[in-house]
Amino acid sequence: MAKRILVVEDNDLNRKLFCDVLKSQGFAVEPVADGLDALDRARDFVPNLVIMDIQLPNVSGLDLIEAAKKDPILRTIPVLAVTAYAGKGDEERIREAGAEGYLAKPVSIGPFMQAVKALI
């Protein structure tokens, strides 16, 4: 059975790229454009990994990670944060929120797939 990955990314091109790459590697993928839908979709889809953009409209990816880590159903699902926030202290804050992985945008396919495979 294919491992399931929830991709939370508001940028259409990035979301499509992540989903296409993951599907080509045999993963079942559920794309989410709006962070407000992310936790409900995660509960329904029950992914093996969540790829989370941090800069989302309406809600911060950091807040979503923190909420997921407090949720009894979602807390054990690893989160790979993918963000344009790559300043000093950002990775630390993102990991403190509960993300198990961190990648700065722009993302190269090789490191992206290495990070995904390391968390699944």
CATH number at 25 reads 3.40.50.2300
If pLDDT is split at 50, 70 and 90, which confidence band does 4 have? very high
The per-residue pLDDT for 84 is 87
CA angle centred on 58, ends 80 and 36, rounded to 5°: 65
What is the rounded average pLDDT of the residues 75-97? Answer: 91
What is the pTM for the complete model shown? 0.96
Is residue 6 a contact partner of residue 47, using CB atoms and an 8 Å limit? yes
**In which domain, by residue range, is 95 found?**
4-119
Q: Which pLDDT band holds residue 6 (cuts at 50, 70, 90)? A: very high
Q: In this structure, what token pair is assigned to residue 48?
A: 């093996």
pLDDT attached to residue 1: 83
The pLDDT value recorded for residue 87 is: 77
Total domains present in the chain: 1
